Amino acid sequence: MNKLVAGPPRQLILASAAALLSAVTVVSAPTAGMAAGGAPAHQGADARAQAASSARNLVADRPARLHASKYDAFRAMPVQSSSGLQYVPYERTYKGLPVIGGDFVVSTDSDGKVLGTTVAQTRAVQLASVSPTVSKAAARSTSAHQVKDARLEATRLVVLQRAASALAWETTVDGVRNGEASRLTVYVDAHNGHVLSSKEHVMEGTGTSAYAGTVTIPTSLSGSTYSMKNSNAATLVCQDAATNTTFTGADDLWGNGNATSRETGCVDSFYSAEQERQMLSAWDGRSGMDGAGGWVPIRVGLADVNAYYDGTQVQVGHTQTGGKWIGSIDVVAHEFGHGVDDHTPGGISGNGTQEFVADTFGAATEWYANNPTDRPDYTVGEQVNLVGNGPIRYMYNPSLAGDSNCYTSSTPTDEVHAAAGPGNHWFYLMAEGTSPTDGQPTSPTCNGSSITGIGIQKAEKIMYNAMLMKTSSSSYLKYRTWTLTAAKNLYGATSCTEFNAVKAAWDAVNVPAQAGDPTCSTGGGGGTCTSTGQKLGNPGFETGSAAPWSASSGVVDNSTGEAAHSGSWKAWMDGYGSSHTDTLSQSVTIPSGCKATLSFYLHIDTAESGSTAYDKLTVKAGSTTLATYSNANAASGYALKSFDVSSLAGQTVTISFSGVEDSSLQTSFVVDDTALTTS
């Protein structure tokens, strides 16, 4: 394919690899003798080997947290590294069949010490039989009906592990769904032929055709022909979508400044991808989109007001009016962000998180590039009025584009781009805070708090390390735990500043605390703790009255209907089987400079069934929601719950429990042996 003739006045001149090296400083993938992140290669290899060995020993012991049946086997995937931390992903089989949703990750430090595990499934696989009664051909036919113009890929028999186990036929089918390109993996029950679930691989995004001024990118030279093939990454190419042919030319001058030109669209897209390649290496220690230097081709010419990644390519479309190709940094880095997500443990993030995950890569790349023509910010689609309504997403205030700033229980089921609102808001607050000093806009919070940001490079590193412990059961709630764990692992040895910023940002967008959230003690509440020990009065309710608690009538109770954790008395909320609300609260002063931990034992007993949350218990410290439990969390006996509330040191706060029961079928929330301990 002939390249278009460069033309004034906005000629985009791109240099060959040799010219690039003389023109700009390139942070490339690690060279021989160096590992990602700048460590000597032998040290990186040793750390990965130690991590693999430690993980192998852990898995051999089959600890309970892996929820392994006697028929399970495990296969370690390549170790992924970032900032001295190592992550060993595992896939699982059951009687030789792949378990979809059975994945897990073992995290270690640079010496191979196991830091923790993240596990997708919550119970062991249980199947009566692994022999299908629905034929493979019938399952393929069912899968083909899920899209129009279907083109079937391979089919295999798998175990689909969710709340329960199911034997399923897995088929990937290409076609059109809801008028959009689709590459859909479909799971058909191998015993009754019903569609159990599906997973879309076409990750849609939108952005802007932003011209980046006069730029240089590492093109390639073969003989006397130049091509848009990245000389630092052989699989990173830019092509005309009409023919899937890489742009070539007799010289190294590209584009004519006209945004409707496909070659100019490739200039923008290729430059954007190169900036992301450098950002991934410099900030995350990652080599390429797939972690091993690999990419998928960029193809400019999609006949749609859109762009997408589908696992095999990045397609770049055009604006609604004017036909401008939308190959800017924030769109292309967003799409390749889906690629990184796809090639980190657990695959593409789910439950409404995938678009905010990709947006963080768009923002981080824009800040890394720091291009004066495309100044870094936290909006998506800011330079081209894509559909006539300005930017399509505002990370600092998602409501400006009609998306929610705050997480609710419905967020995971919202349209995926709308569901990005709380996650984008969290990322902005973590990076910039509520009142930035670098010229970025102020950002409201959902709980009225004020937050100091830690900068986008740390925010990106925390996000990326959280993705390296991701499993296929990803969600907003799990990302809270993973990012807190990442912040603690990366920075907690010397400072809790980063950890506290991550936590405060999640609190500020109403993503509730989780039982698996870590705590960070270094630095505590800041300064010297002025008073240590238990701060709650009547913590086990053994005085036989509520005081100093404030409680609904009948909550503090010594009946035999529900047993106490210790002693005779406990706080029993709800359990009436009718519409009812019970509350329990106590105001307490947390001394300045202290590490503070709230803990209590909780038993949930219910007549409800299934996973729908009909009856709920909300636990708060002041205005901060620490956790929400429901009938779906019912279990025999008591479970210890613990939360780090060190960020509230120096304040008087109200610790509160509120149980809300619907109109039928009882759920009892029983709390005992509370403590708010400072040290």
Residue 504, pLDDT above cutoff 80: yes
* Cβ–Cβ < 8 Å for 218, 232: yes
pLDDT digits (tens, 9 = 90+) for 544-570: 889 999 999 999 999 988 999 999 999
CB-based contacts of 81, cutoff 8 Å, min separation 6: 35, 36, 37, 44, 47, 48, 87, 285
Domain 41-119 has CATH 3.40.50: no
Q: What is the pLDDT of residue 522?
A: 59
Q: What is the pLDDT of residue 200?
A: 86
Q: Using CB atoms within 10 Å of the CB of residue 145, give its burial: 0 to 12 exposed, 13 to 18 middle, 19+ buried.
A: exposed
Instruction: pLDDT band for 67, please (50, 70, 90 cuts).
Output: very high
Does position 581 have pLDDT exceeding 90, yes or no?
A: yes
The answer to whether residues 484 and 514 touch, using CB atoms and an 8 Å cutoff, is no
Q: What is the pLDDT of residue 68?
A: 94
- The token duo for 85 is 């931390």
The Cα–Cα gap between 267 and 677 comes to 59
What CATH superfamily classification does 533-678 receive?
Galactose-binding domain-like (2.60.120.260)
- Please state the domain extents for the chain: 12-21+209-348, 41-119, 136-190, 533-678
Share of the chain above pLDDT 90, in %: 70
Residues 305-345: tens digit of each pLDDT: 999 999 999 999 999 988 999 998 999 999 999 999 999 99
Q: Distance between the two ends of the chain, CA-based, in angstroms?
A: 70
CATH number for the segment(s) 12-21+209-348: 3.10.170.10
Per-residue pLDDT averaged across 376-405, rounded?
A: 89
Among 75, 64, 72, CA closest to 159: 72
Residue 24 — pLDDT band, cuts 50, 70, 90? very low
Report the amino acid identity of residue 400.
L
What are 147-174's pLDDT values in tens digits? 989 999 999 999 999 889 999 999 999 9
Say what the alpha-carbon torsion angle 182, 410, 608, 481 is, to the nearest 10 degrees.
90
> How wide is the angle at C-alpha 521 spanned by C-alphas 670 and 428, nearest 5°?
90
Separation in Å, CA 200 to CA 310, 342, 359, 416: 8, 12, 18, 11
Token digits for 623? 């205005």
Residue 41: which pLDDT band, with cuts at 50, 70 and 90? very low
Give the β-pairing of 80-82 and 85-94: antiparallel
- Mean pLDDT is lowest, of 49-63, 253-267, 558-572, for 253-267
* 533-678 shares the fold of 12-21+209-348: no
Work out the average pLDDT over 475-485: 97
Both structure tokens of 377: 């910010």
Nearest to 654 by CA among 551, 564, 580, 575: 551
- Angle at 228 (CA atoms; ends 224, 232), nearest 5 degrees: 100
pTM of the shown model: 0.66
Q: Which of 383, 339, 346 is nearest to 361 (CA)?
A: 339
